[in-house]
Every structure is written in C-alpha cells, then in structure tokens.
C-alpha cells in the first residue's frame, strides 16, 4: 500500500496529513439490465449478466470480484440517484478484473 503525506496550509498553520492510496472499481447497472464493473485505475470494464439468484448489484459485483478475480475488497461507498454507482475500494493494484 502506498501512503502519502500531504502538507496543507490552514491559516498559515501548516499541518501534515497522512492518507492512503486505494484502487476503485465501479459497479452499476447497464442499459440492458446487466451489471458493469469498471476499473478506474486500469480503464478496463467487465459486463456481467444479472443473476436473479443473487441479491442485487452489490452482491453480484462482490461475488465476481472476490470469487472469480480473487480481489479482496477493503471498503465501499455508494452514490444513489438516477443511476446507483457502488465504488469498491481495494489495496490490490495488480489483479485485473478481466481474465484472459
């Protein structure tokens, strides 16, 4: 994991802040009721069929990332609106979401 230390100026009082660098993978529904995963670092994407046996977008995406790709997801956040997007965060920078 790459850690960064950034120095900021807060009213002429300098402060060092330590932050972590993570990789994000977006998950969202496509136009034809499928699930799209987009790797924001490597600019790759995977289209998954919707699986009615699973409980929605988050479960379909996590099942693929954890079981098929062997990518450990460390955290996530969700942006809801007209188009729900889930951002999965991982410290695994090497493993690709597309096999082959």
pLDDT in tens, 39-75: 998 899 999 999 889 988 999 999 999 999 999 999 9
Q: Would you state the pLDDT for residue 100?
A: 47
Nearest CA-CA partner of 41 in 63, 67, 14, 71 = 71
pTM value is 0.82
Which two tokens mark 69?
């790709």
pLDDT band per the 50, 70, 90 thresholds, residue 80:
confident
Which two tokens mark 25?
């993978």
What DSSP element (H or E) covers 61?
A: helix 56-63
Rounded CA-CA distance 28/38 in Å is 9
- Tell me what the mean pLDDT of segment 2-30 comes to: 90
């Amino acid at each position: 994991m790459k850690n960064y230390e950034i120095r900021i100026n807060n009213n002429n009082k300098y402060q060092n802040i330590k932050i972590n660098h993570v990789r994000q993978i977006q998950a969202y529904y496509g136009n034809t009721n499928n699930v799209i995963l987009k790797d924001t670092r490597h600019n790759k994407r995977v289209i998954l069929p919707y699986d009615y046996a699973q409980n929605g977008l988050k479960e379909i995406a996590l099942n693929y990332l954890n079981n098929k790709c062997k990518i450990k997801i460390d955290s996530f956040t969700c942006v809801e609106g007209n188009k729900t997007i889930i951002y999965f965060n991982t410290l695994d920078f090497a493993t690709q979401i597309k096999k082959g």
